[in-house]
Amino acid sequence: MDNIKNGYSEESIQILEGLDAVRKRPGMYIGSTDQRGLHQLVWEIMDNSIDEALSGFGDEIRLTIKSDNSVIIEDFGRGLPYKKHQSGLYTTEVIFNMLHSGGKFSEASGYKVSGGLHGVGAAVVNALSLFLEVTIYRDNYIHQQRFSDGGKKIGPLKNLGATKKRGTVVWFKPDPKVFSTTLFNYDYIKERMKESAFLIPNLKMVLNDERNNQKEVFQYERGIVEFVEYLSKGKSFDEVKRLSGTYQARKEHTISIETAVSFTSSYQENIISFVNNVRTKDGGTHETGFKSALTRAFNDYARKYGFLKEKDNNIEGVDLREGITAVLSLRIPESILEFEGQTKSKLGTPEARAAMENVIYDQFTYYLEENVDFANNLIKRANDAYKAREAARKARLEARSDRKRNKREVSLSGKLTPATSKDNTITELFLVEGDSAGGSAKQGRNRVFQAILPLRGKVINSERVNLDALLKNEEINTIIHAIGADFGEEFNIEKCNYSKIIIMTDADDDGAHIQVLLLTFFFRYMKPLIENGRLFIANPPLYKITKGRGKNENIFYAWDEEELKKHTEKNQVTIQRFKGLGEMNFEQLWETTMNPKTRTLIQVLIEDEGEAEKKVSTLMGSQVMPRRDWIEQNVDFETDDDFIVKEHSYE
């Protein structure tokens, strides 16, 4: 407010216009204004602390979530410069108020890229906050400046007295007028901090949630090697290998590479990559280079030692990589950094491919030569993987052939009750536990757009069998055919027959088990369904409450104890507890659970890819010990499973 009262300086007008642009179009700066965008604010501030640590200043970062959902981030670096800039403004004002493009921050480290905001992150956070306070410990004094209401400065930078400390503290509270939710998610922040601790060896990350007094510290001496140990815990059958080196790209640009690799008993390939400590979710040139280096080194080795009989018969990369767990971490100078794709999470820099192909080829070749048992074992595994893949391919071909197609339609016709509409932007498929609930669902549904598939037999655990065995499971087969979009690598969401796939089970242990088995299947073989937000869990009520009698009878439903209490407090009522879907008649089922106007669906989302991957393989895989350990450490039957973010979509 000060700078408005004290005359309309050009700077203050520019500042307000800049921050106003952020408030008008927050999505342009932080991607979205949902939970993801909200947390982007945290990453923007935390990245500055991480950059300072990477430059060699400060080995600890603390993050505190306060009870009012504000956040404090603290580092022990040099402290943000605070003196007056040549423009007459304090550096704090430049950093927290101005959308200076080009990123003065970025040049300092040479590597900074995070989030693509190029150093304006702090100003963006300020613009989208109810208040923001920056405290700097530097030159033996404490300096502080405060902003409020979308970044308006409350007063000048103040000197709060002497200190011996060094570092920077930023405290902010996101503006609820901007975000659809201002609740910070502990697990989401935790995963990110843990990831940073893995990527920067010895960096101590301290997370403190004052809303429920949870506190955790992450610090790893051996960096990504420990990351891979963590991801492959209990299923790795050999030591984690560290393959690393540097590569000279254009002129003076050096790319440095660090990878950690392990082969596990799982059937899945799990490669997680980072560039300058930022996750590249969609892979890119570095992943391509990594894969081709492994394949080439392995084939050369196999040929050299006579494992490949025919000259041009190669082992395929996918077979070699079955069960691989790897973390790739690259440092690429900003001047040759390129990102692609809608979310800019795919690396485009061509040199990264050459860098990986060179470094990894050499290192992996060396490792194979030095570890004959490992190499032989890998050849055997690749061969098994190839056989399973061939069997699955044959099964797929058969399933596609026309003669079989007729057969399939016959086999589906006994089970699936289709919707009359074929418009896959409105149709919904209900996967229903058991025949009796299936019957009520059939009667209660809206036949135009709702299809019902009752599941009778056991759903197989997709994590414990190979493709071949999976396809022999009747229930899985029926689901694949009903959805009609193939599965695995060939899954094509465009062909999906439904806009929503809804899992509807009883609210008991068996129902939960079926949900988990189906989720495992969809996670492994139809992941785009989840990524596109098309997988849901139906949410039937737990109670039916009847008030009054005869003509005055009124019926209510309650989904939890709290709702039940509201209805029962003052009134004389009858309460019926639903144990299963079968206890509702078809009208009740329609009204409470299937009718888009009145139902609540739980949308299945993947919050943290690495964590979800780890949980699925630990909890659903074939080894018992890691699962038992996990359950002992983690399961609190009072809370929701954090693998699924339970989001209620009220339609």
Q: Which of 508, 560, 561, 640 is catalytic?
A: 508
List Cα–Cα distances, 609 to 69, 309, 505, 615, 644, in angstroms: 25, 40, 26, 10, 11
Enter the tokens of residue 382.
Answer: 């690749």
Which residue number, 108 or 372, has a Cβ lying nearer to ligand 28F?
108
Looking up tokens 């975000």, which residue turns up? 179
User: Of 57 and 374, which has the nearer Cβ to ligand 28F?
Assistant: 57
For residue 309, the 8-state DSSP code is: -
Crossing angle of helices 223-231 and 186-199, in 10° steps, is 130
Of the candidates 47, 319, 506, 611, the residue annotated as catalytic is 506
Q: Is 560 annotated as catalytic? A: no
**Residue 20 beta carbon to ligand 28F: minimum distance, rounded to whole angstroms:** 23
Torsion of CA 503, 507, 509, 513, to 10 degrees: 10
| Residue nearer to ligand 28F on the CB measure, 91 or 440 | 91
Minimal distance, residue 125 CB to ligand 28F, in Å: 10
Nearer to ligand 28F, 86 or 639 (CB): 86
Q: Among residues 510, 553, 560, 587, which one is catalytic?
A: 510
CB of 75 to ligand 28F, least distance (A): 5
Q: What is the CA radius of gyration of the chain?
A: 28
Neighbours of 59 (CB within 10 A): 14
**Residue nearer to ligand 28F on the CB measure, 80 or 368:** 80
Nearer to ligand 28F, 105 or 179 (CB): 105
Location of structure tokens 């910070």: 184
Q: In 149-299, which ranges are E strands?
A: 152-153, 158-162, 167-174, 204-209, 214-218, 241-248, 254-263, 270-275, 278-279
Give the shortest CB-159-to-ligand 28F separation in angstroms: 18
Q: List the strands of the sheet with 324-331, edge to edge.
A: 241-248, 254-263, 324-331, 270-275, 278-279
Size of the chain, expressed as the number of residues it contains: 651
In the complex, residue closest to ligand 28F by CB = 48
For the CB of residue 251, give the shortest distance to ligand 28F in the complex, in Å.
Answer: 26
Q: Is 433 a catalytic residue?
A: yes
Phi, psi (5° rounding) for residue 27?
Answer: -60, -35
Asked if 99 and 118 touch (Cβ cutoff 8 Å), the reply is no
Catalytic residue among 195, 433, 591, 611: 433
Q: Is 423 a catalytic residue?
A: no
CA nearest to 502, candidates 512, 491, 511, 515:
515
385: amino acid identity, one letter? A
Minimum distance of ligand 28F from residue 610's CB (angstroms) = 25
Residue number, 168 or 264, with CB nearest to ligand 28F:
168
Q: How far is the CB of 108 from ligand 28F (least distance, A)?
A: 5
Instruction: Report how many helices (DSSP H) and strands (DSSP E) the chain contains, helices first.
Output: 23, 25
Q: How far is the CB of 80 from ligand 28F (least distance, A)?
A: 4
510 is catalytic: yes
How many Cα neighbours within 13 Å face the side chain of 203? Answer: 30
Residues that bind ligand 28F (CB under 6 A): 45, 48-49, 52, 73, 75, 77-78, 80-81, 91, 104-105, 108, 168-170
Closer CB to ligand 28F, 70 or 262, in the complex: 70
Please check whether residue 145 is in contact with residue 155, taking contact to mean a CB–CB distance below 8 angstroms. Answer: yes
Instruction: Write the DSSP string, 581-592.
Output: GGGS-HHHHIII
In 445-560, which residue ranges form alpha helices assigned H by DSSP?
Answer: 467-472, 474-483, 509-525, 527-531
Q: Give the catalytic positions in this structure.
A: 433, 506, 508, 510
